[in-house]
Amino acid sequence: MTTLPTSSPLLLPTPLGGTLVNRVGRPGHDFDPAELKGLPRLELSDRSSADLEMLATGAYSPLTGFLGEADYLSVIERLRLADGTPWSIPITLPVAREEAGLYTGRVVLTRGGEVVGTLDVQERYSARKSLEAREVYRTEDPAHPGVAALYAQGDVNLAGPVTLFEVPRGNFPRHHRTPLEVREVIEARGWRTSVAFQTRNPIHRAHEYLHKVTLELVDGLLLHPLVGQTKGDDVPAATRVKAYEVLLDSYYPQARTLLSVYPAAMRYAGPREAILHALSRRNYGVTHFIVGRDHAGVGSYYGTYEAQEIFGNFSGEELGIKILKFEHTFYCGACGQLVSPRTCPHGREHHLVLSGTRVREKLRAGEALPAEFTRPEVAEVLREAYAAQG
Amino acid sequence: MTTLPTSSPLLLPTPLGGTLVNRVGRPGHDFDPAELKGLPRLELSDRSSADLEMLATGAYSPLTGFLGEADYLSVIERLRLADGTPWSIPITLPVAREEAGLYTGRVVLTRGGEVVGTLDVQERYSARKSLEAREVYRTEDPAHPGVAALYAQGDVNLAGPVTLFEVPRGNFPRHHRTPLEVREVIEARGWRTSVAFQTRNPIHRAHEYLHKVTLELVDGLLLHPLVGQTKGDDVPAATRVKAYEVLLDSYYPQARTLLSVYPAAMRYAGPREAILHALSRRNYGVTHFIVGRDHAGVGSYYGTYEAQEIFGNFSGEELGIKILKFEHTFYCGACGQLVSPRTCPHGREHHLVLSGTRVREKLRAGEALPAEFTRPEVAEVLREAYAAQG
């Protein structure tokens, strides 16, 4: 198992820590599958399975596995790994305290009972759930989905380097690419600058506007919707990806756009998660990352601009990826175009703003979404998805 | 006479050379007007008068006067002043060879016979017109308006520091601001980032699109139309400024926009002039400068992207101002919005593109310009200007 050199004629951004971690190794190549017999087995949750993939493919470089206690506390308390590298969310593997003693040495990781990888346990330590909730999620309210997940998980974290046997290609194999594979596309297309955009929401013209604004200045756009675990009331990933596909077919320059899924699970940690999202996109090889209002937020736990302001904790060099901070965007009838409060001088009476709730109501009622709000092709995908639910 | 310190809490970009040159001094304050009696007098051309203002107000910092021979040759041959500072266009004061001997020591500069300033002659040297044409204008074709002006001017350049007695407020006193005055507005408005836009053409929605794209990412917009001498067939400055006024009134966020005139004369030197325009805007205190296709070009003397590529001769630190390179922009019926080839996947049949010639034809014929091409308020200003000509 090696780390891959990342030099390139295009000088893509170096991964965090300098090299792209690669902990993907197939049994029989990098080690003997017979070695796994008799080892303790640990069934992964949705989130831990996503974390395993993110770690092993280098999306979470420089991490090579689940965090040990020193890194865990350092990330929580000072937004950095113990060695000072920026990091915002502890990537941990929690197990129930009563089972923790089972896991020593090499542990076999399973998913639905299938072996997917291994963990070499180097540490076991107690999670500080209250501290973690307060610092990472900025609330101990169990109604917060990230806090709820934290409180529901085991009390002991296992730590150590992981191995993933095979990159899962999930539900979107055509759009599923590791950081190295995304880097290869960027190099092949010659994008000297590129911007990643993530949303867990369906794509509307307000998002398209951000993409187009950015594409006027940056060579390529990585549309990188998060398809890992989300809240039950978020629009399903399949519908969101389908909406991207039809939108790209009709309205985006093919050579400058890459749709690829981001397999991480949502934590809804707002500002802290915005940093994780940005650092991870640096590992995918992009130079810019879009952070809008209330990025990765939920409810009203975070201030509108906190997810933008938190980047002020780091120097540009430390981040290694440029943050593009955008305002709320919407259609203005007086301007006759998509705008934001930064560009439009007109009053609210000219603005077409629909809340997520209102959009869902319209879709449930089978009503059309205005073309200034959603491209007709996307509206049709959403309408069909709601009709199928109906 | 002093140079002004430019420290500020906002950390506006330092002027080129570190301090903003100020060579504006009123008779009776900085020196005795009686001293001017009996001195040789030199009547300035339109261009030299504009250069005097640009030099004295610091718009051409670090220059304090017309270039001496070492700087002149260095700028022509290696795009830098003799000390290595980036500079692209020789700012010279040409006089006829037969009169050159008259100008020694302090020379009184006049404009329409009125005393406007002084020049302390430190050097007189022969212009290398052929070399200057080839290197600066990249052509010796006398049909090029910049080359024509070069060939028509005197053969000897006077060099030395200038003094301007009073900043002329020209035909647009409400919009006429020195670099220091623009810096004060930027500071007062708290723009941490700002972008300057220049055109010598009337403002259309294609330009507005560039402004709005940029304003989504940058705090403030300095609309900085060039109002010095232009070719006879360019749209007059008064019409262009009026068009900006009506456009800003209806479509731009007031607090983020500043309309200010740029009193330089056009040289039509394309790539070389793009550098001058950018360096000068750094002196005005802005952080970004827009360079579109064929910036400051004329006819087909320059390649479409040469004015963007030439900035590759300098490091970002040397330039001290970020260059935003834009493509040709236009309305696309299939996108339903302003776009560029960077953002639009549709064929030409969907694009509304009108040449300058076609626009002038329509205006002369009293025809309406499409609202997707020109805001109706601007179209009305242009229509009236053409009707008044007719």
Each residue's pLDDT, cut to its tens digit, for chain B (390 residues) gives 444 444 445 689 999 999 999 999 876 666 677 788 899 999 999 999 999 999 999 999 999 999 999 999 999 999 999 999 999 999 999 999 999 999 999 999 999 999 999 999 999 999 999 999 999 999 999 999 999 999 999 999 999 999 999 999 888 999 999 999 999 999 999 999 999 999 877 889 999 999 999 999 999 999 999 988 777 777 788 999 999 999 999 999 999 999 999 999 999 999 999 999 999 999 999 999 999 988 888 889 999 999 999 999 999 999 999 999 999 999 999 999 999 999 999 999 999 999 888 888 888 888 889 999 999 999 999 988 888 876
Q: The domain at A33-164 falls in which architecture?
A: Roll (3.10)
Residue B22 tokens, joined? 């100020």
Distance separating alpha carbons of residues B313 and B304, to the nearest angstrom: 17
Could A327 and B216 be called an inter-chain contact, meaning their C-beta atoms sit closer than 8 Å? yes
* Nearest CA-CA distance, residue B80 and chain A, Å: 27
In this predicted model, which residue has the larger pLDDT, B48 or A11? B48
Residue of A nearest to B328 (CA): A216
Distant-in-sequence contacts of B371-376, Cβ < 8 A, 24+ apart:
B371/A336, B372/B205, B372/B331, B372/B338, B373/B204, B373/B205, B373/B206, B373/B331, B374/B202, B374/B204, B374/B205, B375/B205, B375/B208, B375/B246, B375/B247, B375/B250, B375/B251
Q: Which of 169-208 (B) contact A at CB < 8 A?
A: none
Domain boundaries, chain A: 33-164, 179-388
Express each pLDDT in A97-113 by its tens digit: 999 999 999 999 999 99
* A-B contacts at Cβ under 8 angstroms: 61
What pLDDT is attached to residue A30? 64
Q: What is the pLDDT of residues A128-169, one digit of tens each?
A: 999 999 999 999 999 999 999 999 999 999 999 999 999 998
B344 at the A interface (CB within 8 A)?
A: yes
Burial class (CB in 10 A: 0-12, 13-18, 19+), A174: exposed
How high is the mean pLDDT of chain A? 92
Q: What is the pLDDT of residue B4?
A: 42
Q: What are phi and psi for residue B197, nearest 5 degrees?
A: -125, 135
Average pLDDT over residues A173-193: 97
Closest approach of A221 to chain B, Cα-based (Å): 10
The reported pLDDT for the residue numbered B30 is 64
Phi first, then psi, for residue B229 (nearest 5°) are -55, 130
Kindly report the nearest CA distance between residue A243 and chain B, in angstroms.
17
In this prediction the pTM is 0.91
CB atoms B338 and A338 under 8 Å: no
Nearest C-alpha in A relative to B334: A251
Residue closest to A345 by CA, chosen among B197, B221, B285, B338? B221
- B215–A contact, CB cutoff 8 A: yes
Partner-chain contact B342 A213, CB within 8 Å: no
Q: Which regions of A79-232 does DSSP assign to beta strands (E)?
A: 93-95, 105-111, 114-121, 123-126, 156-164, 194-197, 220-223
Q: State the Cα–Cα distance between residues B342 and B213, nearest whole angstrom.
A: 13
In the chain, the amino acid numbered A214 is T
Rounded distance, CA A139 to CA A364, Å? 33
d(CA B66, CA B154): 14
Q: What is the mean pLDDT of residues A276-302?
A: 94
Does A216 sit within 8 Å of B213, measured CB to CB? yes
A337: nearest CA in chain B? B337
Peptide bond into A94 cis (omega under 30): no
User: What is d(CA A191, CA A185) in angstroms, rounded to the nearest whole number?
Assistant: 9
A interface test, pick of B254, B329, B338, B343 with most A CB neighbours within 10 Å: B343
B255 touches chain A (CB under 8 A): no
Number of H helices, E strands in chain B: 13, 15
Say whether pLDDT at A209 is over 50.
yes
Chain B interface mutation, best of A259, A291, A322, A342, highest count of B Cβ atoms under 10 Å: A342
Is A142 in the B-facing interface, judged by CB distances under 8 Å?
A: no
Task: Provide the 3-class DSSP secondary structure of residue A210.
Answer: helix
Nearest to A253 among B324, B344, B371 (CB): B344
Kindly provide the b/e burial profile for residues A205-219, where b requires at least 16 CB atoms within 10 angstroms of the residue's own CB.
bbbbbbbbbbbbbbb
Catalytic residues of A: 200-201
- Write out the two tokens for A233: 């009331």
Q: A181: which residues sit within 8 A by CB, 6+ positions away?
A: none
Could you list the beta-strand ranges (E) of B83-219: 93-95, 106-111, 114-120, 123-126, 156-164, 194-197
Residues 6+ apart with CB under 8 A from B27: B33, B36, B165
pLDDT higher for A343 or B296?
A343
Contacts of B254 in chain A (CB under 8 A): 345
| Partner B, chain A 78-107, Cβ-Cβ below 8 Å | none
Q: Does B316 touch chain A (CB under 8 A)?
A: no
A-chain residues within 8 Å CB-CB of B373? none
The CA distance from A290 to the nearest CA of chain B, in Å, is 11
Contact B217 A215 (CB under 8 A): no
Q: Closest Cα of chain A to B327: distance in Å?
A: 8
Q: Do B251 and A338 touch (CB under 8 A)?
A: no
Q: What is the per-residue pLDDT for B27?
A: 61
B contacts of A215 (beta carbons < 8 Å): 342-343
pLDDT score recorded for residue B28:
61
Give the CA distances from residue B242 to residues A81, B236, B250, B384, in Å, rounded to whole numbers and listed in that order. 57, 10, 13, 11
| Whether A212 contacts chain B with CB within 8 A | yes
Q: What is the mean pLDDT of residues A315-333?
A: 96
Q: What is the ipTM of this complex?
A: 0.89
Into which CATH architecture does domain B179-388 fall?
Answer: 3-Layer(aba) Sandwich (3.40)
Give the mutation candidate from B216, B324, B377 for the A interface (greatest A CB count, under 10 A): B216
Q: For residues A156 and B177, what is the distance between their CA atoms, to the nearest angstrom?
A: 66
* Nearest residue of chain A to residue B210 (CA atoms): A216
